[in-house]
Amino acid sequence: MKRSKLYVISFAVITIIFAAVSIFVTKLNLDSIKNTVNRSNEQMINVLLEKYPDVDETEIMEILNGKEESREGEKFLNSYGISTDEWLLYENEQNTRNTVIMTAAIVILAGAVFTAVFILYLKHRKKEIVRLTDYLTAINSGNYNMETEQNTEDENSVLKNEIYKTTVMLREYSEKNISDKLYLKKSISDISHQIKTPMTSTMIMVDNLIEDNDMTEKMRKEFLHDIRQSLNDISFLVQSLLTLSRLDSNAIEFHFENENIENIFDECIRNTDIIAELKGVNIIKSECGDISVKCDKKWICEALSNIVKNSIEHTPRGGRVTLASDENRLYTKITISDTGKGISEKDLPHIFERFYKSANSEGSGIGIGLSLSKSIIEKHNGSIDVKSDVGRGTTFTIKLYKYKQ
């Protein structure tokens, strides 16, 4: 039971007890006064009837019930020095005095008990506040170990639990901020490294173009071609990083519509057919029928195109990349498989990490395309998985769920 409820119940019980005692004592004293007055009246009536047997009994009852008004009795009492403002019977006066004294004693005692209970309640509250303050101080000092088995169900323990939850949440935010800063630091380092190489190469080639007046036209064209390639790499890197940043900060607004999978595949093939032709790789599209998916076509095509491009780059001349789709009640599945050299077990867990490139990686890729695809797919309430067999090929499996996960 909550401690505060115990105090409330204690106050209520004490109030009821003292009220009952006060009523009982008052009733006893009133009964005593009633009995005394009745005995006195009985005696007077008996004497009156014995002395005056002819007296009218009705008149006596009217006098006793206050219906007969006469000043003779008052004059008689005054002649003996008795005022009508005083108790006629001394015993009744004593009973009344006792009633007043006992009632006052009960009230004083009740006040004392109430005061004592209230002081105990205040001490308990102060003790709990001190404990709560010490607990909060410990948490602020970095001690997050809470002994939940010692908690009760009173409001202080509820407050303590809420403080703990809030503090843990703040700690998680703090740790996340630290993690984000470390990630930002690593990202900036990676970006610097990625941009440094093409920038340095570009600057060297530009210097050669400016300073070497004897450079042949063929060499000049090769330099200009390489400069354009370096600038394309830098542009792709910057655009990809901007896109990833916008995805991470939920700054991109997706427009979801039902799109036919076959149309999406056609768009992906158009985006990658030049590189496929240059590499001598065939892109095969399986029949998809009327399968459709709710997505933002522009972004899902970018995600799938990056995967197809990656598959083409790692597939030897004469190989193929296959796009297929299937669906059930839970999700629409898209598979992109190739007949390339495959991915080693060592590299497989890391291929979706930003800027990750395996030791055997070829080409000018910067290791950001698959990471971008993964982010886009996850924003579409989807997941991506990869399986690979070294020397035989790799299969990417994308599941776009029909219901919120």
Beta bridge partners of 320: 282
Structure-token pair, residue 251: 């700054």
What pLDDT is recorded for position 204? Answer: 87
- CB contact at 8 A, 194 and 366: yes
Residues present in the chain in total: 405
State phi, psi for 254 to the nearest 5 degrees.
-85, 145
User: Residue 28 pLDDT more than 70?
Assistant: yes
Give ∠ CA 405-382-174 in degrees, rounded to 5.
70
What pLDDT is recorded for position 319? Answer: 93
What pLDDT is recorded for position 149? Answer: 45
d(CA 359, CA 371): 18
Residues 224-241 have pLDDT tens digits of 888 888 888 788 777 777
- CB contact at 8 A, 338 and 323: no
Of 54-63, 141-150, 275-284, 340-349, the range with the highest mean pLDDT is: 275-284
SS3 184: helix
- CB contact at 8 A, 327 and 387: no
Span of 164-168, 186-190, 202-206 with lowest mean pLDDT? 186-190
What pLDDT is recorded for position 337? Answer: 95
More confident of the two residues 83 and 306: 306
Q: Annotate 365-398 with DSSP letters as a single string.
A: --S-HHHHHHHHHHHTTEEEEEEEETTTEEEEEE
Residue 190's pLDDT band, with cuts at 50, 70 and 90, is: low
Residue type at position 159: L
Query: Percentage of the chain surpassing pLDDT 70?
Result: 70
Span of 87-91, 125-129, 288-292, 332-336 with lowest mean pLDDT? 87-91
Structure-token pair, residue 26: 């008052």
d(CA 283, CA 279): 11
Q: Where are the beta strands (DSSP E) in 248-381?
A: 257-260, 282-285, 292-295, 320-327, 331-338
Span of 137-146, 251-260, 377-386 with lowest mean pLDDT? 137-146
More confident of the two residues 88 and 288: 288
Average pLDDT over residues 29-49: 68
Of 20-24, 249-253, 272-276, the range with the highest mean pLDDT is: 272-276
Q: What is the pTM of this model?
A: 0.53
What pLDDT is recorded for position 137? Answer: 78
Q: What is the dihedral of CA 304, 305, 310, 315, to 10 degrees?
A: 100
Structure-token pair, residue 343: 């991915």
More confident of the two residues 116 and 31: 116
What pLDDT is recorded for position 1? Answer: 43
- CB contact at 8 A, 373 and 386: no
- pLDDT mean across residues, the chain: 77
d(CA 284, CA 292): 19
Residue 332's pLDDT band, with cuts at 50, 70 and 90, is: very high
Average pLDDT over residues 357-366: 58
What pLDDT is recorded for position 152? Answer: 54
Q: Where are the beta strands (DSSP E) in 257-305?
A: 257-260, 282-285, 292-295
User: Residue 74 pLDDT more than 70?
Assistant: no
Long-range own/partner contacts, residues 239-248 (CB < 8 A, 24 or more apart) = 240/366, 240/368, 240/369, 240/372, 241/187, 241/191, 241/368, 243/372, 244/354, 244/368, 244/371, 244/372, 244/375, 247/372, 247/375, 247/376, 247/379, 248/375
What pLDDT is recorded for position 4? Answer: 58
d(CA 323, CA 309): 12
d(CA 19, CA 325): 83
What pLDDT is recorded for position 326? Answer: 92
Look at the block and give the residue holding tokens 């995805």. Answer: 247
d(CA 301, CA 304): 5
Residue 200's pLDDT band, with cuts at 50, 70 and 90, is: confident
Q: What is the dihedral of CA 271, 274, 280, 284, to 10 degrees?
A: 30
**Class at the top of the CATH hierarchy for domain 168-248:** mainly alpha
What pLDDT is recorded for position 56? Answer: 66
Using a 10 angstrom Cβ sphere, with 0-12 exposed, 13-18 middle and 19 or more buried, the burial of residue 117 is: middle
d(CA 147, CA 275): 62
What pLDDT is recorded for position 378? Answer: 92
Q: In CATH, what number does 257-401 get? A: 3.30.565.10
Domain boundaries of the chain, sorted by first residue: 3-140, 168-248, 257-401
Residues 88-132 have pLDDT tens digits of 555 556 666 677 777 777 777 777 777 777 788 778 778 877 877
What pLDDT is recorded for position 281? Answer: 94
